[in-house]
Amino acid sequence: MTTKNILVIAWQWNNTGGDWSYAKSITSTYIEKGFRVTVLSSGNSHEEIGQIKTIRTKSLLKRDINSFKDKLRFPWSFLRQNQLSSDEEKYLFNTEWYFVHIHSIIGGPGFKVIQKIKSNTPILYTLHDYHLSCPTTNHFRDGENCMECIDESPLNSIKNNCRGNIVESTAAYLLNKLFINSNEIKRIKYFLCPSEFMNKTMIKMGISKQKLKTIGLCLDKNSIKELTDEDNIFFEKKKYRPFVFYAGRLESYKGIKTLIEACSKIGIRLLIAGDGSFKNYLTKYIKNHKLDVKLLGKIPKKELANYIRNSICVVVPSEWHENFPFAVTESLFLGTPVIGSSMGGIPELIKNGYNGYIFEARNAIDLRKKLTLIMKKGVFWKKREIMNDIRQRFDCNNHLNKILDLV
């Protein structure tokens, strides 16, 4: 039997967050099942995850451009949207691909590389963010959720200067427009949506319902083992006071201030892991109000897992439309209940009352009620039931079968 080739395309091939966790897991599963994988991505930093061929192009992200020569070439590279050399173009065209799995192509190799793949090759595109419907990818502006680019016109990204720089806002609009109206996007057989919320957003944006498939995400056994390894216990329960835990980026739209307010009202300790632009504000706010909140900074995976494991619950208080937050799934993989906001795809991951609770986003009073409820009564499912449910729902073998059914 001839080994089948799969081309995986991502804007970068290293740890960029939840998108990387999934890309790594499904690619590892492809390799485990005997497929030959080639990875096409941008940037010099690459993580090896098995027997894969890598094609590394230059990045189309302005922040990755350092030399004066590259800065001069950037406008042309941006418009050309193809960072492949002629030899790489030949390799992509001459290889018989079983299918292509795109995780992100904008900002990386460029979407015109799709032209270099034979027209009969099935292309699947996992939508990790909202870059098809929002030039700034997150439908969030000036502290509020924004759907103006869908409801009115994408030109609002320029009008509202969503990038904070009119040149970058214009460039983001142009790139979005170029891709949406290109022949390349028509080549996509299916868009794979991690959440029903993403699916509905794309329908509203104008993508055919028949082209959208909600199949969630997955974590492979190695990623799960790395996360749930219980050999390294960070601290025993008798050595700490009960606490609520948050892990993620420290940004205003993550709802951390709402979480702090809710915890302080009921007198429960809050531990926060992560880093971001909101850190300095939070540090001053906690100090000025003398709150029982500790900022842990960015911590290693095993240490993070042990904080999750030993917390009363993890809270994901996001105030923007999260697509598929791994902060929820990773906590459930460890058997820890989650209180999540009503935003985006979060409610799809939490079975209210069984493995956690949903609260109204930005509502500290409702969050306080859910925290009090979980402290007094817990949740219906025991730790093992929470873990088994999430492992079954996001098993990589089941997920792979869903993908292969679409090819």
pLDDT tens, position by position, 96-136:
999 999 998 887 888 999 999 999 999 999 999 998 999 88
Instruction: State the sign of the Cα–Cα–Cα–Cα dihedral 371, 375, 381, 386.
Output: positive
The per-residue pLDDT for range 234-293, each reduced to its tens digit, is 445 546 689 999 999 999 999 999 999 999 999 999 999 999 999 999 999 999 999 999
Burial 72-104 (b: 16+ CB within 10 A, else e): eebeebbeebbbbeeebeebbeeeebbbbbbbb
User: CATH code for 5-221+395-406?
Assistant: 3.40.50.2000
pLDDT at res. 64: 61
Q: Highest mean pLDDT range out of 36-45, 134-143, 164-173, 333-342? A: 333-342
Instruction: Kindly list the distances between the CA atom of residue 381 and the CA atoms of 59, 86, 246, 359, 388, in Å, as whole numbers in the listed order.
Output: 46, 56, 21, 19, 10
Residue 141 has pLDDT above 60, yes or no: yes
Give 293's contacts (C-beta < 8 A, 6+ positions apart): 260, 263, 264, 269, 270, 271, 272, 286
By the 8 A CB rule, do 36 and 4 touch? yes
Q: From CA 401, how far away is CA 236, in angstroms rounded? A: 40
Tokens of 30: 């492809």
Locate CATH 3.40.50.2000 in the chain. 5-221+395-406, 225-393
Distance between CA atoms of residues 89 and 94, nearest Å = 9
The CA-atom distances, in angstroms, between 189 and each of 124, 130, 227 are 6, 18, 33
Query: What are 204-213's pLDDT values in tens digits?
Result: 999 999 999 9
Please give the structure tokens belonging to residue 74: 């950037």
Listed in sequence order, the DSSP H helices in 311-394 are 326-333, 346-349, 364-377, 383-393
pLDDT of residue 240: 66
> Which position has the higher pLDDT, 14 or 68?
14
To the nearest whole percent, how much of the chain has pLDDT over 70? 95
Is 60 exceeded by the pLDDT of residue 151? yes
225-393: CATH, from 3.40.50.720, 1.10.10.10, 2.60.120.10, 3.40.50.2000: 3.40.50.2000
pLDDT at 229: 66
The tens digit of pLDDT for each residue in 3-16 reads 899 999 998 888 77
CB contact set of 391 (below 8 Å; sequence gap of 6+): 224, 333
**Tens of pLDDT, residues 351-379:** 999 999 999 999 999 999 999 999 999 99
Q: What is the mean pLDDT of residues 391-397?
A: 92
pLDDT in the model for residue 313: 97
The string of pLDDT tens digits covering residues 298-335 is 998 888 999 999 999 999 999 999 999 999 999 999 99
The CA distance from 294 to 111, in Å, is: 43
The more confident residue out of 245 and 143 is: 245
Mean pLDDT, rounded, of the chain: 90
Distance CA 287, CA 341 (A): 26
* Radius of gyration of the CA atoms of the chain, in A: 22
Residue 65 pLDDT class (50, 70, 90 cuts): low
Picking from 108-112, 225-229, 381-385, which range would have the lowest pLDDT averaged per residue? 225-229
CA distance 97 to 92: 9
